[in-house]
Amino acid sequence: MKMWAGRFTKEIDQTVNDFNSSILFDYRLYPYDIQGSIAHSQMLSDQGIISKEDKEKIHEGLREILKNMDAHEIEFTTQYEDIHMCIEQLLTEKIGDAGKRLHTGRSRNDQVALDVRLYAQNQAQQILKGLLRLIEVLTKIAKENTTTIMPGYTHLQRAQPITFGHLLMAYTNMFRRDVTRIENTIELMNECPLGSGALATTTYPINREQTAKLLGFRKPCDNSLDGVSDRDYVVELLSDLSILMMHCSRLSEEVIAWCSWEFKFVELSDAYATGSSIMPQKKNPDICELVRGKTGRVFGDLQSILVTLKGLPLAYNKDMQEDKEALFDAVDTVKMCLDVLPPMFETMTLYKENMLKAAQEGFLNATDCADYLTKKGIPFRDAYKISGTIVAWCVENNKTLNEVSLKQYQQFHPLFENDIYEALDLMNCVESRKVYGGPSKNSVERQIQSIESFIENRKEMYEEA
Ligand code: ARG
């Protein structure tokens, strides 16, 4: 018999029952549902709506159910419509009438809105913890590589020399923004929907401030219709996670390229790579490819919730039951990616000589050649042209800029002197870019410091998540 049996004379059709039930996926909300019910019953008792004895029984019963569920002793089957019904039913079986009083002044609509919010907040914090670890690992590698020269690319063409540290710090800056975005999302969802009831609150003298406080929220949400139908925070968290995955995917794409024989800038540890079933020589960067692939999946989750909400009138509609799987899937996916990426980077071998070699070929110092003349008074546009002509000559004669003789240089322009070779030295090219944000050792060290203090301020905060 369903809990809502009163109005119905027929049993529900079995197929409809299974179609309607959400327990097979929303069971994972049980810790939050119990947390919410403990706060709600506490408030009911404090307001004199239920007796203290009933409250005690409810708390004891709920704690037992929590233990049973933590120990996987409860089988979640579609005999329960959802996790909320399941817990209430088990409670009533355990403690009788007191269990039936728990739902006074509450609806599943504000109950589920609360549970999903608590889940989202908690998971967002766990994701922050993983994300900070990734930033930490990348920063550590950057610190060891502030003088490791590599080619910087535009259009995937060798462009100007940078260092491996400079490149990694670009990613830590993206991930730092992801942290801030997720923190903002947590803050924005920090209002409690409990007490909104089905849509129009209740006639009982409930205390929404108290439940909000007990559950760690800043305040109760201001409007009950909004309280039960708001899923903005799901959309927002999934947007944040999509952007985060987009960053992980771009970084993964770099690693995939660096692992190829064409680049050979890095090699993944055997523990973080996979082989081929037929080609014995293969060592594949599957982790990175999966992160790249799973990024599409998280984008899909975001799209799914957006489309689900798009046409919904106020207040609760059953469509909203579809918010959970997308949210759960995105959270699980991101957490998995954040579990594998840090150790993969930590154990990755760098082939610094290959990075340097790649930077030495491809005229990455052609800009510096032009700048050399500009600093001697030639207008940049003319200097650019002369430098381009020298590059063309080098291509023709199979030489690098460093291999051109001074005599030859002077034929291109008389202002060239012996110090041109110093100006063309790759380390000097990097070091002379001292501008804020640039690749010089000092500048990258400043970037590292900034990220390190950002992490330091947060580490303890998310340690318990
Ligand atoms: N399982 C439902 C959900 O996930 C809970 C809310 C049901 N409310 C209702 N009035 N049917 O959205």
Distance CA 397, CA 379 (A): 27
Least confident span in 123-132, 270-279, 443-452: 270-279
315 lines ligand 1 (CB under 6 A): no
23 lines ligand 1 (CB under 6 A): no
Atom of ligand 1 nearest to the CA of 22: 1
Residue 397 near residue 409 (C-beta atoms within 8 A)? no
Atom of ligand 1 nearest to the CA of 83: 1
Q: Is residue 464 scored above 80 in pLDDT?
A: no
Least confident span in 5-14, 219-228, 321-330, 371-380: 5-14
Q: What is the pLDDT of residue 250?
A: 98
Q: How remote is the CA of residue 7 from the centroid of ligand 1, in Å?
A: 18
| Closest listed residue to residue 348, CA positions, set 451, 273, 275, 293 | 273
Residue 296 near residue 246 (C-beta atoms within 8 A)? no
Distance CA 428, CA 441 (A): 11
**Which position has the token pair 């908690």?**
122
pLDDT digit string (tens) for 83-103? 999 999 999 999 999 999 999
**Which position has the token pair 């390190």?**
452
| Active-site pick, 51, 269, 276, 453 | 276
Q: What is the pLDDT of residue 281?
A: 85
Show the tokens assigned to 404: 């051109």
Show the tokens assigned to 334: 């991101």
82 lines ligand 1 (CB under 6 A): yes
418 CB neighbour count, 10 Å cutoff: 8
Q: What is the pLDDT of residue 7?
A: 85
Q: How remote is the CA of residue 383 from the centroid of ligand 1, in Å?
A: 70
pLDDT digit string (tens) for 40-95? 999 999 999 999 999 999 999 999 999 999 999 999 999 999 999 999 999 999 99
Residue 338 near residue 386 (C-beta atoms within 8 A)? no
Q: How remote is the CA of residue 318 from the centroid of ligand 1, in Å?
A: 6
pLDDT digit string (tens) for 401-416? 999 999 999 999 999 9
DSSP H or E segment with residue 219 = strand 219-220
Task: Quickly state the pLDDT bin for 279 (edges 50, 70, 90).
Answer: confident
Q: What angle do CA 126, 128, 129 make, to 5 degrees?
A: 65
Going by the DSSP 8-state scheme, the letter that residue 274 receives in this structure is B
Distance CA 44, CA 64 (A): 20
Q: What average pLDDT does the segment 423-443 reach?
A: 97
Percent of the chain with pLDDT over 70: 100
Atom of ligand 1 nearest to the CA of 318: 12
Q: How remote is the CA of residue 193 from the centroid of ligand 1, in Å?
A: 14
Specify whether 155 is catalytic: yes
| Active-site pick, 72, 155, 277, 405 | 155
Show the tokens assigned to 138: 């990348």
Q: How remote is the CA of residue 108 from the centroid of ligand 1, in Å?
A: 6
| Closest listed residue to residue 236, CA positions, set 178, 312, 294, 159 | 178
Residue 159 CA, distance from chain mean position:
30
Going by the DSSP 8-state scheme, the letter that residue 440 receives in this structure is S
Among 29, 82, 320, residue to substitute to test ligand 1 (most atoms within 8 Å of Cβ): 82
308 lines ligand 1 (CB under 6 A): no
Q: What is the pLDDT of residue 152?
A: 98
Q: What average pLDDT does the segment 433-443 reach?
A: 98
Distance CA 328, CA 304 (A): 12
Residues 6+ apart with CB under 8 A from 98: 50, 53, 54, 57, 58, 61
Least confident span in 157-171, 277-291, 318-332, 380-394: 277-291
| DSSP-assigned states of every residue in 249-264 | HHHHHHHHHHHSTTT-
SS3 state of residue 433: coil
Residue 95 near residue 61 (C-beta atoms within 8 A)? yes
Show the tokens assigned to 193: 């929907």
Q: What is the pLDDT of residue 300?
A: 98
Percent of the chain with pLDDT over 90: 94
Q: Whose CA is nearest to atom 12 of ligand 1?
A: 321
Q: How remote is the CA of residue 302 from the centroid of ligand 1, in Å?
A: 21
Among 7, 112, 199, residue to substitute to test ligand 1 (most atoms within 8 Å of Cβ): 112
Least confident span in 26-30, 116-120, 246-250, 458-462: 458-462
Q: Is residue 1 scored above 70 in pLDDT?
A: no
Specify whether 247 is catalytic: no
20 lines ligand 1 (CB under 6 A): no
